[in-house]
Amino acid sequence: MPMLKDPSTKYKPFKPLDLPNRQWPSKTLNKRPRWLATDLRDGNQSLVDPMDGDQKLRYFRMLVEIGYKEIEISFPSASQTDYDFTRRLVESPNEVPADVWLQVLCPCREDFIRRTVDSLKGAKKAILHLYLATSECFRRIVFGMSKQESLEMAVRCTKYARLITKDDPSTAGTEWLFEFSPETFSDTDPDFVLEICEAVKAAWEPTVEAPLIFNLPATVEMSTPNVYADQIEYFSTNISEREKVCVSLHPHNDRGCAVAAAELAQMAGAQRVEGTLFGNGERTGNVDLVTLALNLYTQGISPGVDFSDINSVIKVREKSKAADADRWQIPYLPIDPEDIGRNYEAIIRVNSQSGKGGVAWVILRSLELDLPRGLQIAFSKVIQTQADRLGRELLPKEIVSLFEEAYHLKQKARFSLVDYNITTDRSQSPAPPEPGKALNTKNLKRRFAGIIESTAYTRIVVDTKAQHTSSFLTSRANTPAPFRPVNVKTLTEADREALKQIQGNTGPDRSLVPDNANVGATIAQQKVDISKLEAQANNL
C-alpha cells in the first residue's frame, strides 16, 4: 500500500494546548535535573531477547559507577525474572549503595502492587512507580472506563500502596517514595491530568522532605517539543502544593525529538528526567540520557554523571544484547505500517516482558481464535514461564504449539460444534448509566442455540447467559450425563426462534443453510433425524 497523497484523509493534526502566556521560552537551563535511568526496564523491554540476571547486574553496576542515584530496575509483577532480579539486588550485601534508590514499575492493580512491594522487602531506599493510562483513547478503547472510574481506580490503588508501604510498620526499615504516571499524559486533557493527580496527591499525602513524583510521559511522541513544554508548564504552575511535588519527564522518540522535548520541558518547570543510555528503549526509544548529560556539559553545567570512559559503557551495552534491538518494529506505532508498505506481523514481539495483547494477536492470526480477556491472562502466564525458562523471544510457531498443548487442541476431538447462532435477549434492556459513567452491558443476556455432534449423538443445545462463552458452556454443562438429546418439544418459542436463525460458520463464503431455513431444514441439512431425537428424549 503506497503512502497517501492526502494524509489528512486519515490523520488529523495534534491539537496543541492554548497557552498564550507561556513563560518557558524566556528561560535557560542552568542546573542538572534528577536523573532516572530506566535501561533495566524500558531498555530491557526493547530487546528481542531480554537480559538475564547476570547481564542486568553488570548493567546495574555500570549505572551506579557512572553516578546514577535513581535506577528503575524491574517490573516485578510482569515476570518471575524481574521479581528474582529485584530480590537479588535487595538481598545482596553492599550491592546497592546507601544513596541509590531502587525504582520498580507497576500498573494500578492491587494484586500487582502487593507482589511489587513484596519484591522490595528489605530495601533501604525504594520508589514505587504506579501508572495508569488516562487519555480518552485508552479509556474508551482499552479499558472501557469513564474519567470518574479512572480517577477512582488511581485513588484506590494509591491508598492501597500507601497502606502496605509507608503506613505499614513492618516496612519501617525502607525509605519510600511514591511515583505516579498518568500514562499517555501528552494525549490527555490537561485539566483531567490535574484532577487525577490532585486526587492521587491527597491520597498519598506527600511532604516537602519526601515529595510525590508526578511522571508525565510522552508515551507516544505526537507533537513538536514546544507543545510538550507547554503541557509541562501548565501542569507545573497549576498543581497545588508545588513544593511537595517533583515534576518528572518521560519522553519517547517517535518523532526524533525526545532530547529537545526534555530540554524545553525542563525550562518549563520539570525537575527530573527518565531515560536510557543512548536512547535504547521500548518502541521507538526513550530519551537519550547520554546526549542530555553531555549537552549540559558543553554549556558549563556539571551533569552529575561521568562518561569519561564512554567506550566501556558502549561495550557493556553491547554485551547486554542492546545492539540487537530493532526499536522501530515494536507495538504502539503512531502511524499505520501499511501506509509505508509494512505489515503488523513484523512488529508483534513476544518475550517474558510482553503483555497479553501480542500473544492473543498471534493466536488470532494463526488459529483464528479470538481469545477472551480471561483466557488471554491465563495463557500469557504460560508464555511468560516459557520465555523466562528460555531467556529469549518466542517465535509465533512456538506460541501456537504452547497453546495447542495447554488446551489439548492436538487431541482427537470428542465433540464438534456443527452449527450455532448467538442472539441478544432484548426482553430486558440494561439499566441507564450513571452520570459520567459508561453504559454497563456486562449483564446483557445472550442466547446461544446450536447443534453439537459427538461420536454417538447429535444434540440441540440452547441456553442464555451474560457472555457468549458462558452461554455456550452453560448449555453444555446443563446437559445430564451421559451426553443425551433434549426433547425438542420442550423448547420455548424463543428457543425455537433462535434455532431458526442458526447460520453456518464453516467458511467465509458459504453458510450451511439459507437465511430463511427453519430448524427442521437445518437439522436435515446435517442429516439429523428429529423423530429419533424426540423418541430418545421421550424415553429418558
User: Alpha-carbon distance 183 to 188, whole Å?
Assistant: 9
Give which of 176, 120, 130 is closest to 153, Cα–Cα. Answer: 130
pLDDT confidence of residue 268: 96
CA-angle at 142, arms to 230 and 400, nearest 5°: 130
Evaluate if residue 516 carries a pLDDT over 60: no
The answer to whether 9 touches 280, Cβ cutoff 8 Å, is: no
Evaluate if residue 269 carries a pLDDT over 90: yes
Evaluate the CA torsion angle 34, 326, 41, 265 in order and state its sign.
positive
pLDDT confidence of residue 442: 58
In the predicted model, what is the mean pLDDT of residues 105-129?
96
Between 432 and 388, where is the model more confident? 388
Evaluate if residue 386 carries a pLDDT over 70: yes
User: Alpha-carbon distance 70 to 75, whole Å?
Assistant: 15
Domain parsing of the chain, residue ranges: 24-320, 337-407, 412-426+445-478
Evaluate if residue 488 carries a pLDDT over 60: no
pLDDT in tens, 62-115: 999 999 999 999 999 988 989 999 999 999 999 999 999 999 999 999 999 999
Between 29 and 494, where is the model more confident? 29
pLDDT confidence of residue 163: 97
| 458-465: strand order across its sheet | 415-424, 446-454, 458-465
pLDDT confidence of residue 263: 97
Between 246 and 502, where is the model more confident? 246
pLDDT in tens, 134-171: 888 888 887 788 889 999 999 999 999 999 999 999 99
Q: Write phi, then psi, for 355 (nearest 5 degrees).
A: -85, 180
Between 275 and 481, where is the model more confident? 275
User: Alpha-carbon distance 220 to 344, whole Å?
Assistant: 18
* Radius of gyration in angstroms for the set of CA atoms belonging to the chain, rounded to a whole number: 28
**CA-CA-CA-CA dihedral for 135, 141, 144, 149, to nearest 10:** 0
Give which of 93, 41, 107, 49 is closest to 70, Cα–Cα. Answer: 41
When mean pLDDT is compared across 38-52, 265-279, 428-442, the lowest value belongs to 428-442
**DSSP state letters, 307-363:** -TTHHHHHHHHHHTTGGG--TTSSS--SS-GGGGT--SGGG---STT--HHHHHHHH
- Outline where DSSP puts E strands in 391-490: 415-424, 446-454, 458-465
Q: What is the enclosing helix (H) or strand (E) of 193?
A: helix 190-204
The length of the chain in residues reads 540
pLDDT confidence of residue 435: 64
Grid coordinates given for 523: 437439522
Instruction: Give the side-chain half-sphere CA count within 13 A for 117.
Output: 27
User: Alpha-carbon distance 254 to 323, whole Å?
Assistant: 19
Q: For 120-189, where are the alpha helices, taking DSSP H only?
A: 136-137, 147-163
User: Alpha-carbon distance 486 to 535, whole Å?
Assistant: 10
Q: What is the chain's mean pLDDT, rounded?
A: 80
What's the pTM? 0.64
Domain 24-320 has CATH 3.40.109.10: no
